[in-house]
Amino acid sequence: MNVEALRKLLESVQAGQVEPEAAINRIRHLPFEDLGFANIDTHRAIRCGVPEVIFCPGKTPEQVAGIAERLVAADAEVLASRADTAAFEAVRARFADAEYHEAARMIVCNRKPKTPPDGKILIVSGGTSDIPVAEEAHVTADVLGNSVETLYDVGVAGIHRLLQRVDHVFEANVIVVVAGMEGALASVVGGLTSRPVVAVPTSIGYGASFGGLAALLAMLNSCASGVCVVNIDNGFGAGYIASLINHTNLPPTPRAARGA
């Protein structure tokens, strides 16, 4: 939708020829901005509540910065995933408020103030090697306006590390579990809580883990009923889903689940 078309639509609303709700529905499906190398979905926040996120691999630093520039021009927050330092420097050259979260490999700029919901998201990792994927989930959920806590390196090889801090699990509204190797941690956490568990298999492990496939299949076959699974190494997807769940109204955690 160009400026002239938008002006005509607004004039039609002003004249009473188009109902405001009908105009909103028409705008909701448009527009996108053609940069030649990318078609930016500048109205995704209207439809989905979250602006388009930039996936950096395969894009040049200048392309990443160019997309970020147009998103900011549309007054959208910028979240860029799997970004390297070259992409960050290109974005920071245009926006002084750009932040680079090195562990998560994410760029953030033009952040908007938000009031987080009452619920908390807990990010749990099996091992230290899983932290980059866990941090991708952490940064995503934080930018989307949630209170986030982390509990790292508490995998099943030393399950007492988790059990001694199990109150963190009981207090969370949503738990993201990030684990490689055999991926058993998601089932353990799922058996402890009445809350949704978003499981993220990682590509961490020895040869028979098949680059995360073993963990993925284990999580898909979990006997803990509250476990859902995203793709291998998809911390962004897990943080996004956890945020959607956390922004719904869930009932308080039952006292029995808290061990009281």
The full set of domains in the chain, from first to last, is 32-109 (no CATH), 120-258 (3.40.50.1970)
Q: Which residue type occupies 19?
A: E
Question: What confidence score (pLDDT) does residue 6 get?
Answer: 65
Q: Full-prediction pTM beyond 0.85?
A: no
Of the pLDDT bands very low, low, confident and very high (cuts 50, 70, 90), residue 8 is confident
- Give the chain's mean pLDDT: 88
**Residue 123 · residue 150 · CB < 8 Å:** yes
In this predicted model, what pLDDT tens digit does every residue of 152-181 receive, in sequence order? 999 988 999 999 999 999 999 999 999 999
| Residue spans of beta strands (DSSP E) within 77-226 | 78-81, 99-101, 106-109, 120-125, 147-151, 174-179, 197-201
> Higher pLDDT residue, 51 or 239?
239
- Segment 47-71 shows an average pLDDT of 90
Question: What confidence score (pLDDT) does residue 45 get?
Answer: 77
Cα distances from 216 to residues 20, 185, 229, in angstroms, run 46, 12, 8
